[in-house]
């Protein structure tokens, strides 16, 4: 079964918009795990507009499942991750002012840099994943960095899913086949939701993990976390 990691950035955004500690990020993380989430993901950015660095430091006190920290490996981020030593770090090449992640790494151009960063994380026993577009050359480049996994950037799939699901998923299936041949683990995330997740999972061989935040939190406004988490688990087990 593909694992579900819930990105809780939006919970922090809601809290920060009012000040104080409502909703309580740590309590939400505990609840999500109790409802069946198999991991918690955070993506701290330098301006700390949602997840703050101190949130990332406190979360291990309540986590009983996998902890995944995403972000651009600037020095401050590297220091944070090596201090926490989460189960997984996902490297994302987002600009400091990006609203959300909007592209995968050019793993060929940035090979030397990624290799250096990955070696640093490996020295602390942290599994690494690289955020990539579904392009064969980028998957092959990821292999050459020494990463453990890739995370397929699924915005394009989600955007085109309603019009032509088969066409939307085709490049991702090809990228996954390349990753499987190279022996790299496969994660995925960005704009996956209750409508498009099952089809994606069915067409990606050996999909290990999905990270879902914005859609899951939005759907939970109507259905509640306690109902939404099992719905995702059902789709990921089909």
Active-site residue list: 43, 70, 190
Closest CA to 151 of 198, 121, 181, 190: 190
Question: Residue 25 corresponds to which tokens in the numbers above?
Answer: 């990020």
How many angstroms separate the CA atoms of 82 and 213, rounded? 24
Question: Residue 106 corresponds to which tokens in the numbers above?
Answer: 């050019």
How many angstroms separate the CA atoms of 114 and 129, rounded? 11
CA distances from 176 to 70, 94, 119, 154, 156 (A): 21, 23, 24, 12, 15
State the DSSP code for 120. Answer: H
How many CB atoms are closer than 10 A to CB 212? 26
Alpha-carbon dihedral sign for residues 221, 227, 233, 236: negative
């Amino acid at each position: 079964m593909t694992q579900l990691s819930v990105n809780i950035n939006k919970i922090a955004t809601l809290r920060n918009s009012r000040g104080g500690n409502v909703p309580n990020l740590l309590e939400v993380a505990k609840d999500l795990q109790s409802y069946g989430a198999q991991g918690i993901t955070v993506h701290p950015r330098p301006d700390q507009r949602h997840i703050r660095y101190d949130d990332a430091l406190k979360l291990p006190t309540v986590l009983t499942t996998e902890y995944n920290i995403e972000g651009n490996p600037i020095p401050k981020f590297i220091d944070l991750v090596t201090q926490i030593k989460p189960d997984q770090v996902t490297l994302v090449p987002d600009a400091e002012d990006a609203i959300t992640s909007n592209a995968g790494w050019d793993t060929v151009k940035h090979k030397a840099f990624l290799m250096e960063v990955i070696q640093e994380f490996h020295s602390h026993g942290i599994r690494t994943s690289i955020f990539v577009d579904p392009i064969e050359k980028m998957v092959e480049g990821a292999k050459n960095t020494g990463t453990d996994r890739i995370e397929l950037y699924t915005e394009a799939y989600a955007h085109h899913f309603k019009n032509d699901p088969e066409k939307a998923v085709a490049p991702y299936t090809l990228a996954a086949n390349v990753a499987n041949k190279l022996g790299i683990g496969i994660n995925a995330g960005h704009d996956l939701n209750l409508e498009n997740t099952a089809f994606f999972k069915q067409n990606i061989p050996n999909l290990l993990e999905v990270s879902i935040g914005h859609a899951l939190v939005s759907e939970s406004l109507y259905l509640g976390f306690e109902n939404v988490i099992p719905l995702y688990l059902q789709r990921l087990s089909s």
